[in-house]
Amino acid sequence: MFTPSCRWLFVLVALTFATACRPYRLPSPTAPPQPKAATNTGDNGGVAPVTALKGQRNSYDKNGLLKKKKYERRRLKRKVGQRMLFGHPLPFQ
């Protein structure tokens, strides 16, 4: 029914699709690791006072952007001088 060259082509296509179709795997049911909470016992075995955890405070610049390197790269920079494209000056500013 199939010629030998057609049979090899069929096997090659079947192997290509078999390796490309992988079963979907569900993610791990465990949650991401959480920081360990301090125990509520003192040094002598008594109960220590509970202190609230301080969150990270964000700092903003005068333009209202968050002070992080990722956001500092997004600031607008004023272009000074003639504009260049691939080392050639453009005829407009």
User: Pick the residue with more confidence: 12 or 19?
Assistant: 12
pTM (predicted TM-score): 0.22
Question: What's the pLDDT at 23?
Answer: 63
Question: What's the pLDDT at 91?
Answer: 82
Cα–chain-centroid distance for residue 52? 30
Q: Report which of 51, 68, 50, 49 is spatially closest to residue 59, judged by C-alpha positions.
A: 68
Residue-wise pLDDT for 36-89, tens only, equals 766 666 556 666 666 676 777 788 878 777 777 666 666 666 677 788 888 888
